[in-house]
Amino acid sequence: MANRYAVVTGAGSGVGRAVATALLRDGYSVALAGRRQDALEETAQLAGGNGNALVVPTDVSKEDDVLALFERIKTTFGRLDVLFNNAGTGSPATNFGDVTFEQWRAVIDVNIHGMFLCANAAFRIMRDQAPQGGRIINNGSLSAHVPRPGSAPYTTSKHAVTGLTKCIGLDGRNYDIVSSQVDIGNAATPMTARMAKGVLQPNGEMAIEPTMDAANVGKTVLMIANMSLDANVQFVTVMASKMPSYLGRG
């Protein structure tokens, strides 16, 4: 289990920070990618500042940034075993008829284009290295299954992640590259802080929703990352136990 190398996008906060911390504490060398260097450095310190963290400021929606990130990984680590493809964004709840193209594009550029760019670059490294192989773990969402009201850009992007995950797994078989998708529901992060004040429900009411510790996602991704490449968890859901509007009706 020595000399394991990973990259986490969106590693400066929330789920990305939880996953990066779990991997670093388990002995991985981890490239921390995100837009804010200070936040990435804070993640490295929270994991113990053990010297296994490589901070690489990156905007995943920009191809040049992504290519530079993975070139840095090649030159510093020499190989790549795990990508947690996590960076994502949302938009304010907006009825579909009022969604602007700018709102749509801002989400799609990160959640689809950024995820493609990172997975594509990681796939090439994993295919071309010796020994071949690696694991690409995409951050999906419960929105890959069911939408919230007014969430067309985000929900569309997360449905697309499912297709991407399946294609990576199929095309990666000959190279021992496997793909997984972690569908997360209400992890307590800055992105879900609004839930403490109430979230619009399908029946038009506002309701406060329960959340869970994001460390649970870190534990889940670490479990998948540490599996041998002859086994895989293709899809897994990690969610707050009592969150509404997923199990049952409502």
CA–CA separation, 223 vs 235, rounded Å? 13
| Burial of residue 249, with CB atoms counted within 10 A of its CB: 0-12 exposed, 13-18 middle, 19 or more buried | exposed
Least-confidence region, from 47-61, 92-106, 116-130: 47-61
List, for residues 181-225, the tens digit of each pLDDT value: 999 988 877 766 666 677 777 777 777 777 889 999 999 999 999
What does the DSSP 8-state code read for residue 6?
E
Which whole-number Å values give the CA distances from 22 to 16, 30, 120, 199, in the listed order?
10, 10, 24, 30
pLDDT at 133: 97
Burial state string for 128-152 with b = 16 or more CB within 10 A and e = fewer than 16: ebeeebbbbbbbbbbbbbebbbbbb
Q: Cα–Cα–Cα angle for 19, 136, 178, nearest 5°?
A: 135
List, for residues 10-30, the tens digit of each pLDDT value: 999 999 999 999 999 999 999
Tell me which residue of 209, 235, 205 sits closest to 220, measured CA to CA: 235
pLDDT at 211: 82
Calculate mean pLDDT across residues 122-144.
95
pLDDT at 116: 98
pLDDT grade for 50, boundaries at 50, 70 and 90: low
Pairing of strands 199-200, 206-207: antiparallel
Domains of the chain: 5-239 (3.40.50.720)
| pLDDT of 2 over the 60 cut | no
Catalytic residues, by residue number, are 154
pLDDT at 149: 84
| pLDDT of 244 over the 80 cut | no
| pLDDT of 1 over the 50 cut | no
**pTM (whole model) above 0.85:** yes
